[in-house]
Amino acid sequence: MLLCVLWCGIFSYNSHQDQSQQCEVIPGSMSLPVLEKKGNIVLGGLFSLHDMVLEPSLSFTTMPPAPQCTRFNFRTFRWMQTMIFAIEEINREGKLLPNITLGYKIYDSCSAPHQALKAAMELMTSEKGEGGEEETYSKVTCHGTVPVVIGDGGSTQSLVVAHFLGVFHLPQVSYFSSCACLSDKKEFPAFLRTMPSDFFQVDALVQLVKHFGWTWVGVIAGDDAYGRGGANIFADEVGKLGACVALHEIIPKNRAQNTISSIVSKIRSSAARVILVFAVEQDAAALFDEALREGLTGIQWLASEAWSTATILSIPRKYHHILEGSMGFAIRRAHIPGLQNFLLRLNPSSPDALGDPFLIPFWEELFQCSLGLWADGQKHNVQGKPPCSGKEELGSVTNVYSDVSQLRISYNVYKAVYAIAHALKSMRSCEKGKGPFTQETCPDTDTIQPWQLLHYIKQVKYLNSFGDEIKFDKNGDPAAMYDLVNWQLRPNGKMEFVTIGKFDDTTTVGKQKLQIQEQGIIWNGNQTKAPLSVCSNICPAGTRKAIKPNFPICCHDCVVCTAGEISNQTDAIECVRCLPEFWSNAERTVCIPKEVEFLSFSDTIGITLMTGSLIGSFCTCVVIFILSYHRTTAIVRANNSELSFLLLFSLTLCFLCSLTFIGRPSDWSCMLRHTAFGITFVLCISCVLGKTMVVLMAFRSTLPGSNVMKWFGPLHQKTVITFCTLVQVIICTVWLVVAPPTPRQLMPRESAIVILLCDEGSPIAFALVLGYIGLLACLCLLLAFLARKLPDNFNEAKLITFSMLIFCAVWVAFVPAYVSSPGKYSIVTEVFAILASSYGLLGCIFAPKCFIILLRPEKNTRKHLMSKAPTDIF
């Protein structure tokens, strides 16, 4: 049979004009049970009325028996009855298709792909023999007995059927197959559905994960096209958000306990608090059974559409404590008037039950009794079930079949039937000469060709009685609209599916597709807020995420931002460096202005230097007072008292000028500190130079015929001092005019302080000032060194030599210390050099004089100073 069907399919694919080609059917297996009703147009139907099929052992010597389907599915039986209801409603009203009666031919695919393919082949090939019985050998037309098939439910079954029917371009409208792979029109050209593609469901789930900030999510999938395809798409899409899949496991179709136990163990060890189960309800039930056995709790389960409103999971109380708070997306539901009464009409004794091969197993499974009869008409026990009493009524029991509160897939079946009816109406309404086919021809409504009906189904677009627009996109998919449902346990012990949000893919740009009412959510374990599902804890502000080697990107360590950098948000990818004038606070959360550092009067070092400056000034004033008080004594008069007082005055200025280096730098203080320092020190060294020259020339003038002293009188000495000082004044004046020292902020990147100091303005001018002072000091040292051995009881040249040695040593050491000292310590170095050299001059030159004046007054006489014996002043 299959060879003939495939040959006819290839023929019909290449030519839609001649559909009367006949072919012989090879012997086949026994026909499948079928529920049918004649009509002008017969719609095919495929429903998985059983969850499993037991295949018999195969033999090549005898005809194999029919496979045995087990585990009757009440929910799918309701879907089948909804198809019949919709067909009879259309026939009864007669508005949509007047004078046309729709029939149906429905098979059970038993949730098995090969069984679904057998049923599809039956729809394509089987015909009645002359006696009304189905024959194994018959003549069949290539286009079969139905122009369209509604079904199947499972994606795996629909894949097989769509491959087969696509060869004939026979339209297939599924009500529950959501696998995204079925949107491929090249592979499945005749497949359409009223169930949104998993692309949209995954988009909704990803938006849900993003909304609650879950970055460590587990995925459990069923071992079929629906589960594997949806889980793979979810894993790819959620990765684009920066989230990670904690585990990705497959529930085997044989539902082996050891494999599912391993999955539960991996869930527990993964530390993921949110787990998506992308599987049909039977696979999900197997997982939750094992979770119950192993005591797995505290998991926020996310449900795929296949089990988000599954009654087999919500009714049994054993699942309540682990599934309470679960959430998932379900397709839009509707209340179909009259459907419940239609469902409750069934009874094995009614005339409608004749020829219904599915009613008896439904009845026996629902009421757990047997409808079997002995040959004499007596009831008997089948498989341990008691005989049915005959008084059973569907309205007396509450079950999945009669529950119409969650008509979601049933609504899809209802929409599929009406979409086909609207397509048939459009076919019959075609105006001659305005048809959609070659040469604008219309279809032959007496002999409906499947490929023509397929064209009209694709063009369907109408607003149904529930206000929903029914249409198919270019991939044969409907508009994606979902309800976000939350499993909430009521005080009466009943689990309810409460709608807490909606996802609408048709939302206009600028509006959020996902809308959630968070205040109505109940979480697993009665938590008050959404659970935290992350591989690593959220990094607080002040830290950044650092990826762990050999771990997923969502697993990270929290590293404190380095000094000078901040992060003011949680889970920061990187820290932001503060601007140069700012620094990070202790928490590394905000940039604050850097602390300004300068040599302050309140600093310990500043106080020390200020004290040294004031003490030096005071000591100098004391020396001035002593010398003034004893100005008539020999030692004061013998050492050029005028130069001595001028030298002491300049030393006082030297001590005081160091104070200008302390305090916050300003324009005036920066200009004053260097110029005052340069001028006062030159004045001081000039006085020392004058004293040295006087000492040296005084002894030179004692030689016969020498009149040198007339050139080194008081006026000439003052002239030398004035000239030397004037040179420094000119240098400083030019410095201040051309490039004066100014305050400058030094902002090192790796420091928490802003160093406020005086910029020299012109390094050349600063070097000239220091160089000129050094030149005078060296000249003074040379002259003093030449005069060190001149005869005198009180040889001042020796004292000047010592003072100049100290002065030069201090300033030679100052240069490298100044260059290498950071920040304000360069200023400290300069002040220290000023004070040290000033104390050296004061101590070496004037301390011995004061010692003699105050403690050795007997040596402070002209006679003693003129004696040839050297004076031991100490």
Q: What are the tens digits of pLDDT across the range 80-92?
A: 999 999 999 999 9
Q: What is the pLDDT of residue 202?
A: 93
Separation of CA 151 from chain center: 41
Q: How large is the average pLDDT for residues 2-27?
A: 41
C-alpha span between 763 and 31 (Å, rounded): 108
Which residue, chain included where needed, has tokens 């600063």? 766
Share of the chain above pLDDT 70, in %: 85
Burial bucket for residue 585 (CB in 10 Å: 0-12, 13-18, 19+): middle
pLDDT in tens, 207-254: 999 999 898 999 999 998 889 999 999 999 998 888 889 999 999 988
pLDDT tens-digit map of 784-807: 777 666 555 445 667 778 888 888
Question: 152 preceded by cis ω (within 30°)?
Answer: yes
Provide the pLDDT confidence category of residue 713 given band limits of 50, 70 and 90. low
* Integer Cα distance of 823 and 845 in angstroms: 34
What pLDDT is stored for residue 374 in this prediction?
A: 38
Instruction: State residue 12's pLDDT score.
Output: 41
The pLDDT score that the predictor gives to residue 503 is: 92
Query: Is pLDDT above 80 for 43?
Result: yes
Q: Where are the alpha helices (DSSP H) in 241-296?
A: 257-270, 281-294
Check residues 285 and 633 and name the one with the higher pLDDT: 285
Query: Which tens digits make up the pLDDT trace of 353-394?
Result: 778 889 988 998 888 888 875 333 444 455 677 888 777 888
Angle at 480 between CA 479 and CA 486, to 5 degrees: 150
Of 734, 644, 725, 736, the C-alpha closest to 679 is 725
Amino acid at 133: E
346 and 352 Cβ atoms separated by less than 8 Å: yes
What is residue 733's predicted lDDT score, i.e. its pLDDT? 92
Number of neighbours of residue 257 by Cβ within 10 angstroms:
12
Q: How many beta carbons lie within 10 A of that of residue 626, not counting itself?
A: 16
Q: What is the pLDDT of residue 612?
A: 92
Strand partners, 329: 484
Give the separation between CA 716 and CA 721, rounded to whole angstroms: 9
∠442-447-452 over CA atoms, to 5°?
A: 50
Structure confidence at residue 3 (pLDDT): 41
| Tens digits of residue pLDDT in 425-454 | 999 888 888 888 888 888 888 888 899 999
**Per-residue model confidence (pLDDT) at position 24:** 40
Which is more confidently placed, 56 or 123?
123
Can you give the length of the chain in residues? Answer: 874
Rg over alpha carbons for the chain, rounded to the nearest Å, is 53
Distance CA 510, CA 508 (A): 6
Lookup result for tokens 């599916």: 497
Query: Rounded mean pLDDT of 485-512?
Result: 85
Rounded-to-integer distance, Cα 73 and Cα 401, Å:
9
Give the whole-angstrom CA distance, residue 493 versus residue 496: 10
CB-CB contact of 173 with 153 (8 Å): no
DSSP states of 224-241: SHHHHHHHHHHHHHHHHT
**pLDDT tens digits for 835-867?**
998 898 888 888 888 888 888 877 767 666 656
Element (H, E) at 719: helix 714-738
- State the pLDDT at residue 816: 86
**Long-range CB contact pairs, 760-763, < 8 A, 24+:** 760/674, 761/735, 762/735, 762/738
How far from each other are the two terminal CA atoms of the chain, in whole angstroms?
A: 137
What pLDDT does 8 receive?
Answer: 47
More confident residue, 398 or 167: 167
Q: In whole angstroms, what is the distance from residue 70 CA to residue 365 CA? A: 10
DSSP state letter for 796? H
What confidence tens digit (pLDDT) does each residue in 65-109 have?
666 888 888 999 999 999 999 999 999 998 999 989 999 999 999
Q: How far apart are CA 184 and CA 225, in angstroms?
A: 14
Task: Look up residue 441 and give its DSSP letter.
Answer: P
